[in-house]
Chains A and B, each alone.
Chain A
Amino acid sequence: MSVQIGPGDLAVAAAPGRSPGTPRRMRPWTPYAFLAPYLILFAVFMLLPIGFGFWTSLHEWDINLPDKPFVGLENYAELFDPAGVDGSRFWTAMRATGIFTVASVPPLIVLPLLVALLMNGRFKGRNVYRAVYFAPYVLGVAVVGFVWRFLLDGNIGLVNHYLGLDVQWTTDVPPAWIALVGVTVWWTLGLNSVIFLAGLQDIPRELHEAAMVDGASAWHRFRSVTLPGLRPVTVFVVNSTILASANMFGQSYLITGGAPADQTKTAIYLIAETGLRQFDMGTASAMSFILAGFLMVASALVFGAFRDRGKR
């Protein structure tokens, strides 16, 4: 990797009033030279693809038709027309994404926090329990989806068989949402628990001891020491969980196949299908940008909600 030296840098290097060889504190471009490796990667693997994606979304961009006519914002206009084919499919998928995110994020925050509090205690076999909770997370989505697809089948699945129920977990809503959220919580709870656990272990013991000396109850200590201490970790966990849930694809693809009809087809699922199966990259890119816009707003709201108002 070579450091890019622009004309401006040369101008600095050859600035008058400096004889060569005199020691100097730092060339003005030094920090940029250090940043360059990252910036180059960022430009090549983030900025360029994003720009190209946006360029794509302005065309009727079919992967392998020779003609890729420029259509301006037509792809976006079609998506914002709920009566159109793409529009109605897209907002159904966005709705599905919203339902899944709203339903899955709270349990994916609260349950891992409880698990982390348990795991933070001192008891025999603690590491075994930590491993058990984390275990499902090491499985790939394909394995998780395939196994649960058969366990949850409404007519021949073991879940209904053992519980004596007649619930169609994969072909009916709301049961399908309960199934998808349940499987996702089971699968990814371990990751958030481990992050919370790391956060808990970063809270200085002295704070707890001081609170105990002041006569604070366990609940008070949790409210006034643990939760504030977990704030930075919580911001990270909430944000990454919202993004992960909003980008859910595999579970729905493998367990319900978007059923019933297209009600559990998420936005990413539809984007993949539109771009990679129907070759309609223009529409798929436009969908991606609209989804990205929503996620940016959601992230901003989370950071806003967790702003430390206590700081003066």
Chain B
Amino acid sequence: MTSPLSRRSFLGLSGAVGLTAALSACGSGTKIGSGSAAPASAAPTFSGGEYTGPKVTLDYWNGFTGGDGPHMRAMLETFNKEFSGRIEVRNVTRRWEDLYPAMPTAIAAGKGPDVAVIHNDWIGTFAARQTLIPLDDVVGALKLTEADFIPAVWNAGIYEGKRYSVPLDVHCLGDYWNRAHLEKAGLSDAPADKASYEEALGGLRDAGIANPFWMPNKWPGHLMFMSLLWQHGGQLYSEDGTRALWGSEQGAQALSWMVEQIDKGFSPAKVAQDTQYAAFKNDRNSFTWDGIWQINDLKSNARSLRWGLSPIPNIGGTAAVWSSSHNFVMTSQAGKDSNKVQAAKFFIDHMGRLSAEWAKAGMIPARNSVREDPAIAALPQIKLAADLNAFHFLPALPGVGDVQSKALELAVAKAVLKEASPADALKEGVATADKLLADNKRKYGR
């Protein structure tokens, strides 16, 4: 005997189930055929014209959570207004470290992005995981040529002879400095070489700043280490991606210099994650090396702080700085629908033409020709790109992210926290890295 109440709640429940089913049925957008996974090659080659197919919705994922986020959202709003009724781009922004793990799984489940922005060093991994679709025709329509790019950025997008990325920008580590502190020590700009940098640190301490240069053990400590390694003439990985080379003499020199800053008392010991940056914003740290994506954060969240931005100093003898690049990619999820493929290519093409606009988010345009645009010449980050030869990138080896986090980043952390000497930490790290590289070769080579 069912009471009316239970019958009503049962009806409500089945109604909810039906509604969910209906929602998921319309949530899948326009489908061709019966949801068959049509290969991307079924879509016509993109030649740069307007998108003329039926209305589609594109899911777009990126990690612009910092000072660059509002800017990207504004660009998207403009796009959605201009093409409303034809293409709707839905924006999902999450932290890079959460985005990368989620992306392949979500794409496999059909709940991921159709288009995304990823860093150049991840392109190889994702291409090997078959989560991306080649974009050779978009690159052709945009008339992008290798000559207009930093070779490392251009080449990172090529995996097994196909091109998977449209580079949007380059960004690098910079040396942020506290103007008031440096004035106290009689300086008007960040020093650019080893001798004067160390002298400046001594001067700052004499001027009453107890710890002028806080040394992080985690992010961006490994970015500092890589920059210094390259400056000393070292290499990260062998060409074929089978051996880690950062345990070399040059690596030990680079890491030792970082640890020295603690030994000399310029940095407090055992600085926790992000504390060096918090200390900089709070007027307690004179120099902090961080990415140029922090420019807008400092502008909006540290209004009372007077700061400057310079290229990181040349400590090792050769100018070099860790750099990376944001790249548009299209995923295999979009590839199931040829209209989506066309719309995604049109979207990437359109955004690719706006790189001068994107520079206002604190980034450096990827195309050499765009950097000469007078509209952006005055932006603080542009002067960091004066010497393009200094830009060094992580190679786009499949699985390189795991090697970095399990081996290189751990070695840097151990040395900076004084758990091991720089040489020992690197030796142990390289042993781990070599095993992981061999695993990756086997895993991604299948």
Contact = CB atoms under 8 A, between A and B. Distances in A.
A65 B282 contact: no
Given A276-B101, A279-B104, A65 B217 contact: no
A208 interface: no
Contact of A261 (B282, B419, B435, B439): B419
B406 A89 contact: yes
A161 to B, nearest CB: 12
B370 interface: no
A261 B108 contact: no
B411 to A, nearest CB: 9
Interface in A74-104: 84-85, 89
A64 B279 contact: no
A63 B100 CA distance: 13
B270 A156 contact: no
Contacts of A67: 446
Interface residues of B toward A: which range? 35 or more
A261 B413 contact: yes
A261 B417 contact: yes
Interface string A162-176: 000000101110000
B109 to A, nearest CB: 10
A226 interface: no
Contacts, number: 82
A170 B268 CA distance: 14
A156 B279 contact: yes
Given A84-B435, A171-B417, A279-B104, A259 B275 contact: no
Contacts of B271: 154-155, 171
B284 interface: yes
Given A65-B446, A154-B270, A259 B218 contact: yes
A259 B273 contact: yes
B251 to A, nearest CB: 17
B410 A261 contact: yes
Contacts of A60: 443
27 contacts: A62-B443, A63-B104, A63-B108, A64-B105, A64-B107, A65-B444, A67-B446, A85-B432, A153-B272, A153-B275, A155-B214, A155-B272, A155-B275, A156-B279, A168-B269, A168-B272, A172-B270, A257-B218, A259-B217, A259-B218, A259-B272, A259-B417, A260-B419, A261-B413, A261-B419, A262-B410, A279-B104
Interface of A: 60, 62-67, 84-85, 89, 149, 153-156, 168, 170-172, 257, 259-262, 276-279
